A = this chain, B = another copy of it.
Amino acid sequence: MTYTITEISKMFGLPASTIRYYEKIGLLENVEHVNSYRRVYNETHVDRLNAIECFKKALLPLDEILLFFTYEKNIEANSDKILEMMKKQKIKTEESMEALQAGFAHLKKKIYYYTLVSEAVKNNTPIPQWSDGINEDSFL
């Protein structure tokens, strides 16, 4: 099974320019150009792009993703390097998750408070103060 760039583009929800860019920086390899022109993709490219998307979700930068794929070519020699890389990134994602959760909590507080404010404006009642009843439990 082969695919055109438009098919791959739709499959991953990525613009064609991004797919070409990934090839340019080495993330996609051995892309045949039929008649030395249009690109043709196969299952290995699909697998590769799936892997890329997973690593992107883990906030791994593209140059590190590329490094992973080069390490992967000599798995026996590089398993320790890969392990180290993955463990480092795991810590980073954990930190990001903690920050995100704090940010999320902050948004929820704001939503709770500005809902009260919005109600007060509609009912012509006094605007509540941020301090009024906005504590750790009031909005959970």
Contact = CB atoms under 8 A, between A and B. Distances in A.
Given A100-B96, A111-B87, A127-B76, A58 B117 contact: no
Contact of A114 (B54, B79, B89, B107): B79
Contact of A83 (B97, B102, B106, B111): B111
Interface residues of A, number: 38
A56 interface: yes
Contacts of A55: 103, 106
Contacts of A114: 79, 82-83, 86
Contacts of A58: 100, 103-104, 106-107
Interface of A: 54-60, 75-76, 79-80, 82-83, 86-87, 89-90, 93-94, 96-97, 99-104, 106-108, 110-111, 114-115, 117-118, 121, 127
28 contacts: A54-B102, A54-B106, A57-B99, A58-B100, A58-B103, A58-B104, A58-B107, A59-B103, A75-B117, A76-B117, A79-B114, A82-B110, A82-B114, A83-B114, A83-B118, A86-B111, A87-B111, A89-B107, A90-B104, A90-B107, A90-B111, A93-B100, A93-B104, A96-B100, A97-B97, A97-B100, A97-B104, A100-B100
